[in-house]
Every structure is written in structure tokens, then in C-alpha cells.
Amino acid sequence: MSHDYDVIVLGQGLAGTAVAWQLRWRGERVLVIDREAEVTSSTVAAGLITPVTGQRLVVSWRFADFWSSALAFYRRVEAETQMPCFRETPMVRIVADQGEQAVLHQRLTTRDFSPLVRQPPSPALIDAHFQSDAAAFEMLTAGQLDVPTYLRTSRACFSQTGGYLATDVHLPDDVQLTADGVSLPRVGVTAQQLVFCQGIAATTNPWFHAVQFRPAKGEILTLRIPGLEESRVVHRGVWLASGTDGLYRCGATYEWQTLDTVPTAAGRVEIEQRLQRFLRCPYDVVDQQAAVRPIHRQQYPVIGRHPKFPALGYLNGLGSKGTLQAPALANELIRVMSGGDVFDPRCDLNRWTELRGCHP
Ligand SMILES: Cc1cc2nc3c(=O)[nH]c(=O)nc-3n(C[C@H](O)[C@H](O)[C@H](O)COP(=O)(O)OP(=O)(O)OC[C@H]3O[C@@H](n4cnc5c(N)ncnc54)[C@H](O)[C@@H]3O)c2cc1C
């Protein structure tokens, strides 16, 4: 039977958008469906790609590999949409205390860390703007995606070729599994495969709800900082990043109990207290947002196709690193959907063995 599409991608966040582009570039007929919720993890994300994170100054998992995929991917999207959305930008990290200073000293001697950084930063942070009495280092291989622009222009491109639909898909009622694929009768489309890139909404997906999450709510502030001209992202406990609109964004908090999208006074206080440890300039808070990051219990992203229903695929759990990881993991998913193995067993959907009995 011939289908309307080769693949339907459910969800147009960072994950689904990357999957859709990678499929289109392979010549597949793709339909992306999204319910266009105002607040999602991707609409709130600052789009930062930070190579070194945490108090132990750890280089992000598979950074070199993910970085080269991401760079090539976003440049290709820019060429196709004729709209710039990604910038390579160094980031400055101010060392928090003596313990972190000692870690930095040790890390500068290691082969994974030292090529990624420069110490001290050049140029130095401007003294009148930042508390720069502590040591600092500069991460050279880093970047920032203008996520709203990327999502909006990608969506427009998909729409132009009949590859996008705005609707809320009700699971499981809207999806019928057929002998050779899937059918969504209410939407009026069929496809060989359906790939779920739903972010945190996947917790109620009847085919994949056995994949356990440990999601984290995050809050972020938008600031007006008159007189500040620092294009690099500056980190110290929180990050401060300039945007294309002349405003700055600052965040983010992590909270594991109240998983909603409501900005809180406590979130704002936490961010501002950390910011004031290194920013000397006066500022106004012009906006505050909150969303829930999709993080799986085992911290790694999860990729795969359903062991019992091979027309159904899954990519989720991008956590705080969707911008970096989505382009490469989208390729990985496509490989797995055509019968390949998942490259890293920690990311393999099949480790959630209960999934075998998981269907509506
Ligand atoms: C405050 C904050 C700051 C962050 N900053 C960064 C950062 O600087 N860098 C970075 O890399 N990451 C950052 N992140 C993390 C990043 O946002 C996530 O990694 C990423 O957004 C996950 O993308 P996703 O596509 O998996 O999920 P989502 O963004 O949640 O996308 C899922 C989409 O699926 C749609 N959907 C779900 N179910 C249905 C359905 N049944 N029918 C129709 N549509 C459906 C949703 O509406 C949504 O659009 C941040 C997150 C937060 C909260």
C-alpha cells in the first residue's frame, strides 16, 4: 500500500525538528505535527552549547562528535531557510571558589579539556561590568542557537511543502497501527513510520510510558542591561547570554518537585542572587519563563523503535543539551529505524524491558 508520507514526526521541538530535517535531506516524505503549545522546553531554551559544565569541569559527553554534527547541521538549515540562527561564540567562565580553582589547575593538564579552553580569557572581562577578581577561563568551541528563529523558520519551510500540521494528537485514539505502518484517521494521513519526539509529554505516551523520566523544571530571566556590551556568554553559577533582540537571558534553575511551567518568586531570587555575584551593571527584569526539561532516569537520551511495533520510533531525554545533541541523535534514530543498533547501550530503548508489554 502506498502511504501519504514515509515518516510522521510527532513534536516540533529541538528533537523533532532535527529528525525532520535529517529525513528531508535523505529525500523522505515527512509530516511534522505539533500542537503549538506556547511554553515548551524548546520555546524557553536559551540554545547554548557549552562544552565544559559542572563543578568538576567535565567535558560534555561525546562533545567533539556532537559539536561537529551540530555545526554542520545548523549551517545547512541556515542555508536552506536563508535565515541566520546559529552563532559560534566563546564563553567565559569565572571560577567560583578555591576548590574550583584547584580543579581548573588539574584539568588544564588533561588532553580532553585543554584544547577546548584558553586561560586567561582574551580579551579579559571589563572590570566595570563584571567582578573579575577571581580566575576565569574561556571556552573556545561553543555556540548559541536562536531557538525561536530556528523553530519558526524550520516550521515555515516544512509548511511550504505540505510537511507540517498544527494539531493536538490524542494518544492512543488518534493512532491506528496497520499491517505496514500507521494511520491517523482524524488527521487523515498514513505513513510507514511514526516517530515520537514529544519531550516531557511522552510520560503519558501509551506505547512508551515505561521509559522513566526524572524531569527538571527550569526558570530563566530576560534582562535589559543598559551599557553592557559583552557578546560572549558569561558563566558563574548561572549563565548570562546576549540575544539578537538586544536583551540578555540569564538562567537557569533546576527543580525536581513542582513540574509545571509557572515562573516563581523563588526562581527569580535564586537567579538574581547568583547573577549579582558577578555582574556589576544595573539591570531590569523584563520577563521570566519556566518549562520542564525532558530528562530520563538514567540521564542519557533514549533512542529506538518499539520492540513489538517497529513502525513506532522514539527520541527523547535531551535534558539540558538538546541544541548540541539533537542533530546527531536524529541521525542515530533514523539509522535505528532502518534496522541499525543504537551506538551506546545506555541510550537503547530496549533496556526498558517492560516496554515489551507496553501498548494501549
Ligand atoms: C529554562 C531552560 C533553559 C534551557 N536552556 C538550554 C540551553 O541553553 N541549551 C540547550 O541545549 N538546552 C536547553 N534547555 C533544554 C532544552 O530545552 C531541551 O533539551 C529540549 O528543548 C528538548 O526538546 P524536545 O524536542 O525533546 O522537547 P520539547 O521542546 O518539549 O518538544 C516537544 C514538542 O512536542 C509537542 N507535542 C508533544 N505531544 C504532542 C501531541 N500529543 N500532539 C502534538 N504535539 C505534541 C510539544 O507541544 C512540543 O512542541 C533548557 C531548558 C529549560 C527548561
pLDDT in tens, 79-126: 999 999 999 999 999 998 889 999 999 999 999 999 999 999 999 999
Site residues for ligand 1, CB cut-off 6 Å: 10-16, 33-35, 37, 40-42, 44-48, 168-169, 171, 197-201, 218-220, 251-252, 291, 293-294, 316, 318-324
For residues 317 and 243, the model is more confident at 317
Helix (H) or strand (E) holding 322: helix 322-337
Total-model pTM = 0.97
Q: How far does the centroid of ligand 1 lie from the alpha carbon of residue 76, in Å?
A: 21
Whether residue 277 is predicted with pLDDT greater than 80 in this model: the reply is yes
pLDDT in tens, 317-333: 999 999 999 999 999 99
Q: How far does the centroid of ligand 1 lie from the alpha carbon of residue 280, in Å?
A: 32
Cell of 2: 502506498
Ligand 1 atom index nearest CA of 252: 1
Q: How far does the centroid of ligand 1 lie from the alpha carbon of residue 196, in Å?
A: 13
Residues in Cβ contact with 329 at an 8 Å cutoff, skipping those fewer than 6 apart: 15, 18, 301, 303, 315, 318, 347
pLDDT band at 235 (very low <50, low <70, confident <90, very high): very high
Whether residue 354 is predicted with pLDDT greater than 70 in this model: the reply is no
- The full DSSP string for 49-88 is E-SEETTTTEEPTTHHHHHHHHHHHHHHHHHHHT---EEE
Give the pLDDT of residue 1: 56
What average pLDDT does the segment 161-184 reach?
97
A 10 A CB-CB count for 56 gives: 10
Distance CA 271, CA 255 (A): 13
